[in-house]
Amino acid sequence: MILFDEDFKCIDANRVAVVIFGYSNEEFVDKTFFEFVVDSSPLTAQNILNKKNNISYQLQLYKKDNTKFWAQIKSNEIYQNGKKIKVITMFDMTKMKKTQEELERLNKNLEIEVAKEVKKNLEKDKMIHQQFKMIAMGEIIGNIAHQWRQPINTLNINLEMLEYDYQDGLIDKEFIQDFVLRNTKIIYDLSKTIDNFKHFYQSPTQKILFTIRDMAEEVLKITTLILSSNFIKLEITGEDALINGYPNELKQVFINLINNSKDSLILSMKEKKITEGKIILDIQECVDGSMITISDNGRGVDLNIKNKIFEPYSTTKFQSQGTGLGLYMSKMIIEQNMKGKLELLDSQIGAKFMIKLPKG
């Protein structure tokens, strides 16, 4: 505590002030308040001192050895023998400031660490997405190859038979017209296969209105051959529903879930648990959006791993058959991109996945 007269000259100081500032009582006398204030004009300091009583503020002050420290200051007025005396009480904030600076440093370091972790997670998600994209591209090529194999074999047989037909004298104008027509249709079908797959994994940057059944029918077109060749039937049931979202991303999720069912059904048939595989894609319109279930009559999902199936790189297949990214990416697409929900339901027969999508 330091007492100042009307001219802000020191007239007395208590023992604590003597210890903090390093001046003796005699050295304090006649020093002005402004001599203690760091980087502050006399006018600024005077304005502070002229504030109402009990107003608290912070100032940086000089000690006798010119070192600086922060102080919490309150100014009060008393009258003694008719003279106004300013009573300045000060609290040394050095330790508090150091603690505050340390907290700020820790917070800054924490922000840096959080930013690093966020960046690492973004890079990990980007890497996983890129891996999934490559896997999806491999699957698309596999589906194209499967659907092209039979028509290419037919073209090959037709060309091989052409020489024998010529030797047998069967080639005339009508034969040529029929030959061209038949083989042109095969080539058209091959081209149509490419159109069905074209831009399949490219997502629009903006949401669009589309019907879920249309997306399901497009998926059926490109999966029916590979499913039927494995004695698996895909059936679309229920109603239709109009939603606002990303159709290609929803098709990608359908493909992932259908592929999982297909692999499970193939194993179930090999183990002779079933003779024919069945996948049902059911669509229902709800008050707040739509609900889609994809179920099969395969071996189902082991309850021990039920809570882990949506984690990246989690798979129940052999390493050569699965990467564990399909369900993880499907959940990201539905829940992050389309603001919906994807979960595994309890089912007495096979596996059953539910997709909930909002209207907007």
Measuring CA to CA, which residue among 81, 223, 73 is closest to residue 139? 223
pLDDT tens column, 118-149: 888 777 777 766 666 666 666 667 666 766 77
Q: How far is CA 62 from CA 34, 66, 127, 302, in A?
A: 10, 5, 57, 73
**Residue 322, pLDDT score:** 46
**Residue 319, pLDDT score:** 40
**Residue 291, pLDDT score:** 93
**In this predicted model, which residue has the larger pLDDT, 40 or 247?**
247
Examine the pLDDT at 208 and tell me if it is beyond 90.
Answer: no
pLDDT tens column, 306-346: 777 887 655 555 444 444 567 888 888 888 888 899 999 88
**Residue 278, pLDDT score:** 94
Please count the other Cβ atoms lying within 10 Å of the Cβ belonging to residue 302. Answer: 10
Q: Does the domain formed by 199-358 have CATH 3.30.565.10?
A: yes
**Residue 113, pLDDT score:** 83
**In this predicted model, which residue has the larger pLDDT, 127 or 273?**
273
The arithmetic mean of pLDDT across residues 295-300, rounded, is 90
pTM: 0.53
**Residue 301, pLDDT score:** 82
Long-range contacts at 194-202 (CB < 8 A, ≥ 24 apart): 194/144, 196/221, 196/222, 197/140, 197/143, 197/144, 197/222, 199/248, 200/140, 200/248, 200/251, 200/252, 201/133, 201/136, 201/137, 201/140, 201/248, 201/252, 202/248
C-alpha span between 129 and 332 (Å, rounded): 10
The arithmetic mean of pLDDT across residues 7-16, rounded, is 87
Per the listing, tokens 């189902």 go with 300
pLDDT tens column, 24-76: 888 888 788 888 888 655 556 666 666 656 667 788 888 889 888 888 888 88
- Both tokens of residue 32? 């002005």
pLDDT tens column, 105-115: 888 888 888 88
Mean pLDDT over each residue of the chain, to the nearest integer = 81
**In this predicted model, which residue has the larger pLDDT, 291 or 188?**
291
Per the listing, tokens 């590979």 go with 226
The CATH class, in words, for 2-92 is alpha beta
The arithmetic mean of pLDDT across residues 5-30, rounded, is 86
The arithmetic mean of pLDDT across residues 152-177, rounded, is 86
Residue pair 355/252 in contact (Cβ under 8 Å)? The answer is: no
**Residue 282, pLDDT score:** 95
Determine whether 318 is exposed, middle or buried from the number of CB atoms within 10 Å of its CB (0-12, 13-18, 19+).
Answer: exposed
Which percentage of the chain shows pLDDT scores above 90? 12
**Residue 321, pLDDT score:** 45
